[in-house]
Amino acid sequence: MKNSIVFLFFLLLSYVSFSQVTGAYQPAYDFKQIDSLAQLEQGGPPAFTIDPGLIQDRLKKLENVIPLNYNIITHQFVEIFAFRKASFTQRMLEKKDVFFPLYEKYLKKYGLPDELKYLSLIESGLENRAISNKGAGGLWQFMPYTARGDFGMRVDQYIDERFDAERATEAACQYLKRLHKTFGDWHLALAAYNTGPANVKRAMRRCGGSNDFWGIYACLPAQTRAYVPQFIAMTYMMNFHWDHSIQPENWVIDIPKDSILVSGYLNLNILTQLTGFSLDTLKRLNPHILSHFLPKNAKNVKVHLPKSHFTYFTQNRGRIMDSARVDISVPAEAVSDSLDDKEEEVQEVSHVAKRFTYKVRSGDNLSSVARKLRISVGELKRLNRIKGSKLRKGQILSYYKLSKAKQRFSKKYSRRKYTKSRKSMKSKKKKSRKRSKRR
């Protein structure tokens, strides 16, 4: 009863204070407890710089499937993204064309509102490898256990599919569709995406069974209270940024690409060298691949290659893939011992990885040595099991380069060839002895 009286008091207070400004429904807020980003940064409620009526009218025009409520909180976030966080808004404008076509494709596939594409801006700032302080990762900020358990993503030290834009976007669409089916309300579904369905249901119980985001606002976790208002504000800014003097300057350009599916070990350094582009380009196209190689247990991993080099790759796929599949961490003796004794055919190999060494000199560091040897710092550290970032003078470092090989024979073939040569030599000696005796 006491809680109900307090709730009604703040509802009346908010109506008296703000209904004149907006003429719309306003949620009840306790200004001593409110902890949105706007309140933290501006110490609100502030004097508005942007005309409230302007924002309210524009939100009504933008509204499609998901309600875009106007109130003091959404207005504060509009001002935050227009002034205090204008650089963030500008970066989103510069990067959106890389990701929005992909988002729109999957939102359409799953019959979801197109405006959900703006949610990723709040989630990750359109950073493929964004990691939250709680461990959520990728454009759509999946926790590792959710990514593995609910969507079958691989998340380990070699591959993290949360960073694959396509894989993560499809999973996000599936999850959002499931949440909307559970709650029947898009604002509650968005809140559940942020904090989890259990927390939203708990907030609904604590706030008297309300099934409206603004009705359970005070019962939600602090971060989730700001989540829906930020989404609404960012939707506004992406459509009306021009009216607030925010324009993209340095557009992020996507690299056209084609993809292959790879299972088993693959050395990406060799793959890029033989295909004719840099390892940095491969890393940019494949943020989900964390190492410079795919492990032996890799299964159907999507590897993106630049479209400009894809034709050359397909024409030389066998040679390139065979060379890139040579595990340079395995000694050459182990490779030769693994050949089948019954094999008699000569095997021609165009390229093999050959081991070289480098002696660290005074003034050398990992970056300078990696540049000299034309490999990445990560590959240099992996090959030499270097955990830190320092090198000592005189230290011997190993690295590998591709070199041409003439032929490789099986053991049995080599043995036969050696035996035949010895027999021919003996017969020649006997003949020469007989000739000398006759003379």
> Could you tell me if 409 and 342 are in contact, meaning their C-beta atoms sit under 8 angstroms apart?
no
Burial track 220-246 (b if 16+ CB lie within 10 A, e otherwise): bbeebbbbbbbbbbbbbbbebbeebeb
Instruction: Pinpoint the residues of the chain covered by CATH 1.10.530.10.
Output: 36-244
Task: Return the closest-CA partner of residue 132 out of 344, 140, 309.
Answer: 140
pLDDT reported for residue 374: 76
- The radius of gyration computed from the CA coordinates of the chain, to the nearest angstrom, equals 32
Give, as one character, the DSSP assignment of residue 131.
B
Give the helix/strand (H/E) hosting 400.
strand 396-403
φ, ψ (nearest 5 deg) of residue 62 = -75, -30
Task: Determine the pLDDT at residue 329.
Answer: 58
DSSP string, 2-46: HHHHHHHHHHHHHHHHHHHHH-S------TTT---HHHHHH-SSP
As a residue count, the chain comes to 439
Count CB-CB contacts under 10 A for residue 5.
8
**146 residue type, one letter:** T
Fold classified for 36-244:
Lysozyme (1.10.530)
Q: What is the pLDDT of residues 205-245, one digit of tens each?
A: 999 888 899 999 999 998 999 999 999 999 999 999 999 99
Q: What is the pLDDT of residue 432?
A: 55
For residue 221, what are its two tokens? 């976790």
45 upstream amide cis, omega within 30 of 0 = yes
What integer pLDDT is reported at residue 384 of this predicted model?
Answer: 82
pLDDT in tens, 364-398: 888 888 878 877 777 778 778 787 778 888 899 88
Say if residues 410 and 340 touch (Cβ distance below 8 Å).
Answer: yes
- Would you state the pLDDT for residue 280? 92
State the pLDDT at residue 63: 95
Q: Where in the chain is the domain with CATH 3.10.350.10?
A: 349-406
Q: What is the pLDDT of residue 424?
A: 54
CA-CA distance, 117 to 172, in Å (whole number)? Answer: 11
Task: Look at the alpha carbons of 39, 45, 51, 57 in this order and tell me if their dihedral is positive or negative.
Answer: positive
Instruction: Show the low-confidence residues of the chain (pLDDT under 50).
Output: 1-45, 331-352, 404-421, 439
Output the six-digit token pair for 383: 């090959």
Domain 349-406 bears CATH identifier 3.10.350.10: yes
